[in-house]
Structure 1
Amino acid sequence: MPFLLLLLLFPLLLLLLFLNVATFSFSRLGMSPESAFLFLTASIIGSTVNIPLSRRRVLVRERRAFPFSLFLFYYPPVVQERVIYLNVGGAGLPALLSLYLLLGGRAPLIPSLFALIIVTIVAKAMARPHPGVGIVMPAFIPPLVAAAAALLFSPPGQAAPVAYVAGTMGTLIGADLLNWRAIQNLGAQAVSIGGAGIFDGIFLVGVIAAFIG
């Protein structure tokens, strides 16, 4: 019985451990532990919240044709609404925190810009449009590239905020914004910027960034 109880509680213990580590990481960016925990909680909850940015009605055609006669066929048009959303947890909140770090002087502008350009190039190269889903990319790529670029360009003691700004904004720009045309041409009826395969990478940026400070 105790073993079964421990087995049932094990996922919860892992979640609590991850939240504690993540809270410590975000607090290294200049946030209080309480603020870091609230930001993390808001990010996780916000990953389920999408704000509509664009609505477009598109015409598609059914595969089956209805014959008028022996030689004439009619393909009835089907109208669908394609909506592009902004994911709060994967795009909105990280952008606000990045702006806070830049305006507050925690992330120096020039090193952050250089590191951001590198992450943007890599994210653009690695991101792939996935029909019916959106833009996806390996979650571990943005944190590792952002960490390396921050260590290369940032002054001592400021690598963590530079890595966060470069990792989050570089991922959003390279993976999502630079693939805007591809997003609009995807078969998905709903596409979320900062969602799908992008949220995981952006979330991991904040966790990993603090450990290089």
Structure 2
Amino acid sequence: MRRRYFFPPLALPFLLLLVLLLPILFFLFAGTITLAFQRLGLPLPVAYTLFWAALIGSFINLPITEVTSYGPIVKVKEVSFFGITYPIPYVDWGEQKTVIAVNVGGALVPLSIVTYEVLRLILIQDYSLLAKALVATLIASVIIHSFARPVRGLGIAVPTLIPPLVAIALALIIGDNKPLVAYMSGTMGVLIGADLMNMDKIKQLGAPMASIGGAGTFDGIFLAGILAVLLV
């Protein structure tokens, strides 16, 4: 039998255009993040290194502990009828284990940047800016925690735009429009308010792994800081 396949006439040109645009979009994305790092006072080689560390590290989760809980688990049993096997799902009560991990790109990279900036402020004795950044981080943590919700089977969810908007507002109100205040309150606000302050709810999630900064480069921790720095 002869088969005919029909394709929209513009499908191939659009596919070629997409292939050509992907490298351009990647370089724009890389340039945007590098620019944000430079606004924090980081040298260009360091900014490039951090970008690649965040990108590659987004695929790396480092397990730190494991928690055990008991709850309903969906299992499947097989039933044979007239020689045909049917999978039958059912709910049973059993032990659930959740691995708590830290994502390199989504958590450790932002944390290393914040640590560097804090030490730099201490060395240059700019305690005023450091105090403003710490106060903004505390306020951001409380606000973001109020929006954070545990989603069973997924993790702790926060509306995407809340962290950067909170960080921008705090940078304008408290931090004299300083990028460091925006970045620190944006990243640490999510890390503390959404993740660390909800550690007691990990057992309720029913997920095999709960990764802090788990979505890596596109996680709220990482993007909150980048967007806040670019917009202040």
- How far is the alpha carbon of 1:177 from its aligned partner? 0.8
Q: 2:201 aligns with which of 172, 182, 190?
A: 182
Matched with 1:166 is 185
Q: Distance in 1 between matches of 2:214 and 2:63?
A: 13
The answer to whether the Cα contact below 8 Å between 2:59 and 2:216 also exists between their aligned partners in 1 is no
Q: Distance in 2 between matches of 1:95 and 1:37?
A: 17
Q: Distance in 1 between matches of 2:108 and 2:227?
A: 20
Instruction: State the secondary structure of the residue aligned to 1:139.
Output: coil
Q: 2:152 aligns with which of 117, 126, 131?
A: 131
Q: Note if 1:88 corresponds to 2:104.
A: yes
TM-score, scaled to structure 1: 0.82
The answer to whether the Cα contact below 8 Å between 2:144 and 2:193 also exists between their aligned partners in 1 is yes
* Residues 105-114 or 131-140, more deviating: 105-114
- How far is the alpha carbon of 1:167 from its aligned partner? 0.9
Q: Distance in 2 between matches of 1:151 and 1:133?
A: 33
Q: Kindly, what percent of the aligned residue pairs are identical?
A: 42
The answer to whether the Cα contact below 8 Å between 1:135 and 1:197 also exists between their aligned partners in 2 is no
- How far is the alpha carbon of 1:90 from its aligned partner? 1.5
Matched with 2:138 is 117
Q: Distance in 1 between matches of 2:93 and 2:147?
A: 36
- CA deviations 1:58-113 (Å, max 9, x no partner) are 4446678xxxxxxxxxx986444321111111211211111111110178221012
Paired residues in the alignment total 201
Matched with 2:23 is 12
- CA deviations 1:17-65 (Å, max 9, x no partner) are 111121111111111122111101111221221111211344446678x
- CA deviations 1:184-205 (Å, max 9, x no partner) are 2211121111224995322223
Gaps of 5+ in 2: 1-11, 76-90
Instruction: State the secondary structure of the residue aligned to 1:192.
Output: strand
Shift in alpha-carbon separation, 1:150–1:169, aligned structure 2, 3 A: same
The amino acid across from 1:204 in the alignment is L
Matched with 1:100 is 116
Bigger radius of gyration among the two: 2
Q: Distance in 2 between matches of 1:89 and 1:183?
A: 21
The answer to whether the Cα contact below 8 Å between 1:116 and 1:167 also exists between their aligned partners in 2 is yes
Instruction: State the secondary structure of the residue aligned to 2:210.
Output: strand
Shift in alpha-carbon separation, 1:60–1:38, aligned structure 2, 3 A: same
- How far is the alpha carbon of 1:117 from its aligned partner? 1.8
Shift in alpha-carbon separation, 1:62–1:43, aligned structure 2, 3 A: closer
Structure 1 or 2: more strand by fraction:
2
Instruction: State the secondary structure of the residue aligned to 1:82.
Output: strand
TM-score, scaled to structure 2: 0.76
Q: Distance in 2 between matches of 1:61 and 1:212?
A: 45
